[in-house]
Amino acid sequence: MQTTQIGIIGLAVMGRSLALNMADHGFIVGGYNRSREVTGTLIKEHPHKNFIPFYDLKELVESQERPRKFLIMVKAGKPVDMVIDQLIPLLDEGDMILDGGNSFFEDTRRREKNLKEKGIYYFGTGVSGGEMGARFGPSIMPGGEKEAYEHIAPILEAISAKAQGEPCCAYMGPDGAGHYVKMVHNGIEYADMQLIAEAYLLLKYAGGFTNQELADIFTEWNEGELKSYLIGITAGIFREKDDFADGELVDYILDSAGQKGTGRWTSLESLKQGVNVSMITAACNARIMSNRVEGRKEAKELIESPKQRLVSDKAKFQEKVRKGLYTAKIAAYAQGFDLLLHASSEYGWNLDYGKIASIFRAGCIIQAEFLDDITRAFEKNRDLKNLMMDSFFREKINMGQESLRDILGPGIQNGIPVPAMSQAVAYIDAFRGTPVGANLIQAQRDCFGAHTYERTDREGIFHHDWRFEHE
């Protein structure tokens, strides 16, 4: 039996792509799937001298060099636990299990603790980049025991995307750190996509731009400070012709988008941590509303819509949308990294925010030129409390916030939902702002519940005997 260097368990799209990526880089990869048909199809369609199929899990385990290394690529949740339960009796102390799916970080922490008691290393390994990224170079976020990382680093760093010659893979921290970073990455991705969708709506329904004009605009934007994977593919999408009718495909796609849950996890975790990620939450809510297709159709017939008022100067509006989008993007990333900062303190992970930004520069969905600036910001000041306080981004916020405010007006007047951009403005205003109205809220709480209040002119906790009549 030929010795393998790593085993992939789960050979669907992502598992297959990662297995072939590893094989391309000279690693001897063993592959196993509970369905023999899936394994057989992979061998038939993608034969590779460095990929060895296995139809029995025990034989895959016995083929491994020590310490054994297995990458699980199955659906998050119970299927991961089922695979782990099958592996445990076959493994020895010092062997390693990597979970490359979108597992919830608390599940990863639980599994890592349980396996550590058995002498088995467990790495929650975030992988971003979709099928193409997995096949030719993803961004990889492993978290687990640092002392064991050296055994898997050569493989993971070799297959990862490269940015300026550096691998887009780095050790994140202990237990659930890797999957937490991946969760926040996905939350930022939700916000980024929603902001782009809102820019599209503003340009099309307030600016009156055609799909061809939108394609040209996004192509131009992709050559400047907004350059990113998402802006680039958006330009291409607007040009894509439909297969069944005249015109562009985008106009025939149902106005409803799904989600797999990682954005919601980010939003829920932010409430737990007491961190404002309102833009990510707005993006999740926008997808929820998009799913109510029939209800929206009914409401459209019953609730009056504003009369469309196209802007008078298209070129000027286009530039304002560009500046507004960039400004809102800064706010979205500031929220995501703020959540990482609080989680790092809460869970004792000591996250390296500059390194996190650097591994997002290629391979993943949110890859962008913008991330070079984030990397530099945290390299310059590791203790940076919020991205908007960095001098570079502070200047960009100051230069762009007027445009962001200006484009919200035509959006609201035309009945265009712009929840993420609206939350960007609210976040900036609340972040820099006084007043925020909390003095009145303190008074209300003390009035109806004797919850006390604090004062501006002296130290201490106070309660007022509210003298007006109230029930």
**SS3 category, 372:** helix
**Using H for helix, E for strand and C for coil, what is the string for the chain?**
CCCECEEEECCCHHHHHHHHHHHHCCCCEEEECCCHHHHHHHHHHCCCCCEEEECCHHHHHHCECCCCEEEECCCCCHHHHHHHHHHHHHCCCCCEEEECCCCCHHHHHHHHHHHHCCCCEEEEEEEECHHHHHHHCCEEEEECCHHHHHHHHHHHHHHCCEECCEECECCCECCCHHHHHHHHHHHHHHHHHHHHHHHHHHHHHHCCCCHHHHHHHHHHHCCCCCCEHHHHHHHHHHHCECCCCCCEHHHHCCCCCCCCCHHHHHHHHHHHHCCCCHHHHHHHHHHHHHCCHHHHHHHHHHCCCCCCCCCCCHHHHHHHHHHHHHHHHHHHHHHHHHHHHHHHHHHCCCCCHHHHHHHCCCCCCCCECHHHHHHHHHHHCCCCCCHHHCHHHHHHHHHHHHHHHHHHHHHHHCCCCCHHHHHHHHHHHHHHCCCCCHHHHHHHHHHHHCCCECCCCCCCCECCCCCCCCC
Catalytic residue of the set 69, 112, 189, 248:
189
The catalytically annotated residue of 58, 112, 113, 182 is 182
Give catalytic status of residue 189 as yes or no: yes
Active site residues: 182, 189
